Each structure stands twice: as structure tokens, then as C-alpha cells.
Chains A and B, each alone.
Chain A
Amino acid sequence: MTTTPAVRTVGLTKSYADLAVLRGVDLSVPAGSICALLGRNGAGKTTLVRILSTLLQPDGGTATVAGHDVVTAPGRVRERISLTGQFAAVDDVLTGRENLVLVARLRRVAAPTRVADDLLDRFSLTEAGRRRAATYSGGMRRRLDLAMSLVADPPVVFLDEPTTGLDPQGRHEVWAAVRDLARGGTTVLLTTQHLEEAERLADRVAVLHEGRVVVDGTLAEVQALAPPTTVEQVPRPPSLEDVFLGLTGAQESR
């Protein structure tokens, strides 16, 4: 049985004025996997995620999410996804619980307050749920942000640099939540600049460099791409960093 990928882009292009950010992105994310999209600052990760979440129109190519085209059927895509942006998008004036109830209402779930309470519990925010989000620490805000994305269990979740700006404790909390999601069968596409994060979380890794996906495969496949010299010099399995630096360095010197 062949299952259609949860996310699939073919030849996706996007420019801002004369800056060509995406120059033909081909990416395929199997349903139920965690895919880490790696790329340096400015590589175009946010641009790609915003196109996939129907917030931005591509210039060319196609992108389908959960079987629906982001340009021709954005409404259907929106019913099946959620986005946690690069910067926490919570309402500071509302309490954590009110934030969740609001999203639950907007997603038309049957019992908004129960869904909110369940999520508060799952993200260890029950106590804090009664306070305004403005009083939260960075880690708590991120957790609330993530919880808001999980209301109504969308099958595809986009996380744009979910751990940027978090302390180690906060990072581990987010990682645990992401693993939890994947266990439940949700497809997660997360972007990161940190190779360690990709190694720890992802089943699949895609490297975005100079407007294209230069590598796309399972963690093992990608690790196999490390330059052999590195393996000889360092007595440890090749890290993604070796792969990443090898690949992107090679591209730059062309």
C-alpha cells in the first residue's frame, strides 16, 4: 500500500523582490514522521513553512499538505494543519486557559473548556492557566503556544524553530511534547538551526541550502553522507554537523 506523503512540494519557488529565497524546493514528508528541516539563519525555512501553512503564496511549483493544494484549496489545508510560528503567538492579555478556549472555539470543537483543561494538564500549565500569559516565562509561553497548536488534533503540525530562545529545561519539555505528538500519529515538520535537535527528534532530515533541499532522507541515510575523512579523524559516528558542514561548505565553494 502506498500512502500519500503528508507534505509534498515540487519545484517550489519564492522570491522577495529580487531575492530568490526558494529556488525549486522538492520535499516529501511521509505521514506520521517527524521531519527536521535544517538550514542556516536566512535559508528560507520560515518562508517554506509559511507557504505550507497557506500564509504566503508561492511564485511557482506546487505544494500539497494532507493531500490538498495550498494554493487552490487553502481552506481544506487549514482544517488539517496547525502552525507554531517562530515567535510565540499567544494573547498576553488573556490567561493561558482563555487562550486555549479561544482557539478551541475557533476550531469549533465540541467541548472547548474540557479540551483547554486537558491541554493545560498535558503541558503542566494547570496552575499557570489562571494567570495572564504576559506573566509566563519563555518556556511556559512556548508550551502554551504549542498547546494552542494541538487543539482539535490536526494531523499535520508545523513548528518553526520551536526551541529557539529556550533554556535547556524548556528545550527538553518541547522535545518531549513533540515526541508525544509523533507517537499519536501526527506528522511534524519542524525547522531548526540546531543539528543536535534534528538528531534527537527527527526520523527524517531535510537540509535547505541556497534555495533548494540538498539532502532529504532518513537520519541514517543522511549520516551516511558524511565525508569519510571526518570519520577517520574523529572516533565517533558522523554527526549531522559533519554532514551539514560538508554539504553546505562544498556548495559554497563551487
Chain B
Amino acid sequence: MTTFVRATAALTGRSLTHVRRSPDTIITTALTPVAMMLLFVYVFGSAIQTPSPGRYVDYLLPGILLMTVASSIAYTAYRLFMDVDGGIFERFRSLPIARSALLWSHVLTSVVATSVALALVVLVAVVMGFRSGAGPLAWLAVAGILLLFTLALTWLALVPGLLATSADAVSGFAFPLIFLPFVSSAFVPTDGMPTPVRWFAEHQPVTPIVEAMRSLYAEQPAGSDLTLAVTWCLGLLLVAYLLAMRTYRRRFG
């Protein structure tokens, strides 16, 4: 066990050095969600009717944060792909270390890099007028949801990271995830959507996760949304974890 911890720590340190030495990846991660936030708040926002009384940026932020996570894990997949492709993965695999440390180091790095990108996006939102009276407990709950969501998407990202044959293919897989919030209640209420779209929007995980975070920020009871959000995240995490481990075993034995 301690050998697993030590190997994971050493490999995570290495992977974080990669992030530290290319801070542009964090900026790029935050760019799409920030651009969407600017576009929706300053261009479309005035035309959107939201049920909540607050500012539109308050309504919008939870969805933007999920978009940030999706945008960030594209780099997680990319970093793993580069290791596998470049041969350093072979070297690590021939060392006497727990092999799961290889994947866990990328997971932990992903959590750190995503957290930094999320902080950056929240900062921009605050500059744009986002305010919340939520107490530390509510913020902690929001952070917990984001952590679970990040873990789930990160394990999912390891699959293309392990399988991809080109760098372009590996980042391409994240696009559908980045745009998933559009077909949810993240930007506009689902009421006005055509029936099939609305059905999808109301049954996909982004909607309850967004609603739960919105309630927490607005100091309202998140109740069933919170339960549903956590259930979705844990379910996705489990499936993604099993899928990634299976992919690893299939590919590397």
C-alpha cells in the first residue's frame, strides 16, 4: 500500500510539473467556458427569461462550471496519450511499481488542473457580477459535486487517452461533453424546448447537477436535485472507472 502511495506521489509530482510548465493549457481550458459566459450574459442574456429572480450570470455559472470540467479533461486525455505514445509509459510499466499508480497520477493531476481552471472561471464570473450569499457549507457541497463530476469525467477521459492513435482524435472526444450543457437547463429553462429535446434535457445528468448547484448558491433547499446529482455522479464515476480499468487491462494486460 505505501509503495502504491509513494509511486502515485512521485508520478503525480511529475505530471503536475507538466501542467506547471505549460500554464497555457489552463488558460485554454478556461477560454471556451469564459467565452460562452461572456456571449450569453452580454449578448443573449437580455432575451432569456429565467424563473429565478437573480442576475442571469448567477443562473448561468453552474452550467459554465460543468463546461469547464469537460474542457479540462480533454487535456487529461491528451497528457495520458502523450505518455502512452512517447514510450515513457512502457518504462514506467517495466518498473517495480503498482501499475494502478500510473492511472491514479493522471487522475490526481486532472483534479488539480481542473480546480485551478474552475477557480479562474469563478473569478471571471465574480468580475461579471456573480454574487452568492451561500455559506461555507453550501460552497463545500458545490465543491463536492464538482469534484465528483470531475472524477467521473476524468476516468472517462482515460479511455481515449489509452486508446487514441493521434493527438487530434484524443481531444476530439471531449467536444460532445463540452456542449452537453446546451441541451439542459444550464443556459435556458427546459420549458420552451421541443418535446424530444426537452425530454432529453430533463433526463440527462447535467440538469439535476446544475439545478442542485444553483439552489445551493441561492441558499435554497437543493433536496431531490442534490440526491439525483450525487447519484448521477457516483454512477458515472463507477462506470467510467470500470471502463478505464478494463481498457487498461485489454491494452496492456
Q: Is the CB of B96 within 8 A of A107?
A: yes
- Determine the chain A residues whose CB is within 8 A of the CB of B94 once the complex forms: 53-55, 78, 81-83
State whether A79 and B96 are in contact (beta carbons under 8 Å apart), knowing that A85-B90, A88-B87, A89-B86 are contacts in the complex: yes
How distant is the Cα of A94 from the Cα of B91 in the complex, in angstroms?
15
How distant is the Cα of A108 from the Cα of B7 in the complex, in angstroms?
9
Among A82, A98, A106, A107: residue with most chain B CB under 10 A: A106
State whether A91 and B6 are in contact (beta carbons under 8 Å apart), knowing that A53-B94, A54-B94, A106-B97 are contacts in the complex: no
How many residues on B have C-beta within 8 angstroms of the other chain's C-beta atoms?
24
Q: Is B253 an interface residue (CB 8 A)?
A: yes
Q: Is B55 an interface residue (CB 8 A)?
A: no
Contact of B17 among A54, A88, A98 (CB under 8 A): A98
- Enumerate B199-253 residues with CB–CB distance to A below 8 Å: 252-253
Among B22, B94, B97: residue with most chain A CB under 10 A: B94
Q: Is the CB of B253 within 8 A of A57?
A: yes
Q: Is A246 an interface residue (CB 8 A)?
A: no
Which residue on chain A has the smallest CB distance to residue B22?
A93
Q: Is the CB of A94 within 8 A of B17?
A: yes
Contact of A106 among B11, B18, B86, B253 (CB under 8 A): B11
* 8 shortest interchain CB distances as A-B pairs: A89-B87, A105-B10, A89-B91, A78-B96, A79-B96, A83-B94, A53-B94, A89-B88
Given A83-B91, A106-B7, 9 additional A-B pairs, CB 8 A: A53-B94, A55-B94, A82-B95, A88-B87, A89-B86, A89-B87, A94-B14, A105-B6, A148-B91
Contacts from B to A (Cβ < 8 Å): 3, 6-7, 10-11, 13-14, 17-18, 21-22, 86-88, 90-97, 252-253
Contacts from A to B (Cβ < 8 Å): 53-57, 75, 78-79, 81-83, 85, 87-94, 98, 102-103, 105-108, 148
